[in-house]
Structure 1
Amino acid sequence: MDDLLYMEVDLRKFAGNLREIAKLSGKSVLPVIKSEAYRMGALAIARKIADMGVGLVAVADLKEALPLARDFDFEILILNGARECEFPNLEVFPNLVLSVNSLREAESLIGYGFQRKVKVHMQIDTGMNRLGFSDFREYARALELLLSGNFLPEGIYTHFTDSENAKIQLEKFLPYANHFPYEIIHTAASSAYLSTDYGTHVRVGVDLYAQQKGNLKQIVKIACRPLAIRKLKKGEELGYDRAYAVERDELIAVLPIGYYNGFRRSLGGFPVYANGKRYPTVGKVCMNHLFVRVDEEVNLDTEFIITSEELPAGEIAEYLGTVAHEVLCMFRIDNIRYLK
């Protein structure tokens, strides 16, 4: 088994997180598995979701939805909606559910003439200013059009900008939601499902994968073993631009990961984890290599952890001034193992 550089995804922890979120929210969970399930691997995550009996998931676009529609029976909400050139695929797969984000989209759908009943969710823009209806009259007209055609308005949703603004956005959302007896209502994503009780579902992404809060666990570990361990003498310099000068005799482990794999140069100085302790990275991050200052406990069989529950994505995000979502998506590791 190739263990030089790998990513390990624990599907048992994923299932535990999903159950915990359902318990905490008191609602059905609508798992967001867009962007290859935040780089965890959409097909593997989808298999676990199907095994758990989840009935509805969300993806970004039709390209992401089609492989899942072919292999699974659960319904798939396409958050970005669909273009006219993609409508024939919606005709073929009855488990595809379409987000309708504007009056123009509703008019295009009506003009196509679908032969099957297509389920839709109406997206309402309550402050994100990204996608969705922000004019009630246009929303009402779009809904009227869809009801006159071969469409079933099954759901309605919005996206909160943050938990602090959720109450204000919910007040904007309610007139839209109360306008029609929707079966499915989802407003809260990972940042807000604990702060709002409205709706039938919670639409959760990153909390399923890498937010360690309460009983939720990070499901991914990225790890590698050294390519070499070099002995450097005091006064020697290391790496590009000789950016690191050795102040005393040191051991340097050369790891097979770099900015090509998502370990950015801006992470220079951030530690890695091995043998129950943290070791600092030194020098400039290379395209495929990373330098780590180590001790005599390290050898070529030592496992170095880039991220795991011991070195969580949230901590990397804080160091970079970003969010755990971006940290998960920035890593490119081809060798993926799944713990079932």
Structure 2
Amino acid sequence: MSHFYRDTWVEVSLNNIYENVSKMREYLDDSTRIIAVVKANAYGHGDLGVARVAIEAGASLLAVAFLDEALSLRRGGITEPILVLGVTRPEDAVICAEQNLSVTVFHEEWLKQVKDLQIEKPLKIHVKYDTGMNRLGTTSLDELHCIIKIIEKHPSFSLEGLFTHFATADELETDYFDQQFLRFQEAVNSVVQKTANIPIIHCGNSATGLRFPEKLFNAVRMGISMYGLSPSMEMQHLLPFELKQAFSLHSKISHVKKIKAGESVSYGATYTSEQEEWIATVPVGYADGWLRRLSNQEVLVNGKRTQIVGRICMDQFMIRLPEKMDIGTRVTLIGEQGMERISIDEVAEEMDTINYEIPCMISYRVPRIHMKNGKIEHVINPIIQNM
């Protein structure tokens, strides 16, 4: 087990992740596969532990953004199928085949460059069709058919999937979503009429799976909801089951002092006390991902809300205490203490962004502690993991 030597850490509830995936598994038709999206270090939660518990809970595939993330999972002992959603360089196709990784393909030129490589094992391919996201994917039905024809003719290529991605599935207005779905349905019908069976056809992210389970074809890419977060605030009231947030962020008071009226706190002296106050220092800063924009955010101490005062520094920030407290008192930046709770959604609102961004922005400097049944399952600390 890895260790950590600072009083700032993230706790990840593997039980909550398990329950979120299990509930999605129960909610969907048995024939619908769950693709657990663990890109970006599992949205900042820790990819290996999340991947394992997602598979235990009913996911049958994993998805990452690029090859390095997939190889990290393989080296961690993950043997389940993994789909690389982003672009893979043609020259790296051999590695993908060797490691039993599925790649995303969306233009003929990529396949032409790969055809001449010495690929001994089948290269599994998911073809991406762009229906309106305008990020990755071919937008031409003719090119889609050409891509599939090349795949079917080459002995080293294996057509495993066809997919698209919706731009507005988490919005209440569904006109654009409906247009994209119809475009993809047209593409699927066209392809199925001319080709052999495609094992995995997927169009839905978490929002689609939660709102439109009848429009998933035979797989859903479960991302943000696996971590207990709603795909958007506006669709929160539409959730078919409760999602349990898995991520919490904690620290401890490292210094306590009383300041006089008229004294200022932190860089730029942006906060000046109007009376005597107890000020505590907390060893978290913007290098940990707690950005200066959060300089007015509240945190929890002894089950009470208290405000950050002054500018957040690179490694520390200060809070105003309601009374003197001991060094070592726990400070919760995200999570629960007593009856109080600071959610990821609250922090996202303070930063004028989406909840996806918050766990992703907490940096590698902050150890992740995976908790299971109230006990530490694993500690991830990249800074000293090779010591």
Under a length normalisation based on structure 2, what TM-score does the superposition of the two structures give?
Answer: 0.83
SS of the residue corresponding to residue 193 of structure 1 reads helix
Contact kept? 1:123, 1:131, Cα under 8 Å? yes
- What residue is the counterpart of 1:73 in the other structure? 79
Q: Distance in 2 between matches of 1:318 and 1:106?
A: 43
Once structures 1 and 2 are overlaid, which stretch shifts more, 287-296 or 24-33?
A: 24-33
Aligned equivalent of 1:316, options 331, 347, 356:
347
Contact kept? 2:20, 2:228, Cα under 8 Å? no
- State the 1:210 CA deviation: 4.0
Does structure 1 residue 201 correspond to structure 2 residue 206?
Answer: no
Does structure 1 residue 292 correspond to structure 2 residue 303?
Answer: no
Aligned equivalent of 1:172, options 179, 183, 204:
183
Q: Distance in 1 between matches of 2:229 and 2:273?
A: 37
**Shift in CA distance, 53/161, structure 1 to aligned 2, threshold 3 Å:** closer
Contact kept? 1:184, 1:201, Cα under 8 Å? yes
Q: Deviations over 1:148-196 (max 9, x none)?
A: 0122212111111112332111011112222123221211112322232
- What residue is the counterpart of 1:227 in the other structure? 254
Q: Distance in 2 between matches of 1:50 and 1:146?
A: 29
Percent identical residues:
29
- What residue is the counterpart of 2:206 in the other structure? 190
Contact kept? 2:55, 2:61, Cα under 8 Å? no
Q: Distance in 2 between matches of 1:23 and 1:314?
A: 26
Q: Distance in 2 between matches of 1:157 and 1:80?
A: 12
- State the 1:47 CA deviation: 2.4
Q: Distance in 2 between matches of 1:108 and 1:245?
A: 64
Contact kept? 2:21, 2:54, Cα under 8 Å? no
**Shift in CA distance, 90/228, structure 1 to aligned 2, threshold 3 Å:** same
Q: Distance in 1 between matches of 2:228 and 2:93?
A: 35
Q: Distance in 1 between matches of 2:120 and 2:148?
A: 19
Q: Distance in 2 between matches of 1:2 and 1:303?
A: 16
Give the paired residue count: 339
- State the 1:56 CA deviation: 0.8
- State the 1:48 CA deviation: 1.9
In structure 1, stretches of 5+ residues that fail to align are: none
Aligned equivalent of 1:83, options 83, 89, 92:
89
- What residue is the counterpart of 1:60 in the other structure? 65
Q: Distance in 2 between matches of 1:108 and 1:23?
A: 43
- 1:240-279 pair list within 5 angstroms: 240-279=267-306
**Shift in CA distance, 29/298, structure 1 to aligned 2, threshold 3 Å:** farther
In structure 2, stretches of 5+ residues that fail to align are: 231-235, 373-387
Q: Which amino acid aligns with 1:143?
A: I
Q: Deviations over 1:24-56 (max 9, x none)?
A: 343332110011111111112122234446321
Q: Distance in 1 between matches of 2:303 and 2:201?
A: 45
- What residue is the counterpart of 2:12 in the other structure? 9
Once structures 1 and 2 are overlaid, which stretch shifts more, 24-33 or 248-257?
A: 24-33
Q: Distance in 1 between matches of 2:309 and 2:160?
A: 54
- State the 1:2 CA deviation: 4.6
Q: Distance in 2 between matches of 1:55 and 1:208?
A: 14
Does structure 1 residue 329 correspond to structure 2 residue 360?
Answer: yes
Q: Distance in 2 between matches of 1:283 and 1:127?
A: 44
Aligned equivalent of 1:99, options 104, 108, 114:
104
- What residue is the counterpart of 2:25 in the other structure? 22
Q: Which amino acid aligns with 2:120?
A: Q
Q: Which amino acid aligns with 2:218?
A: T
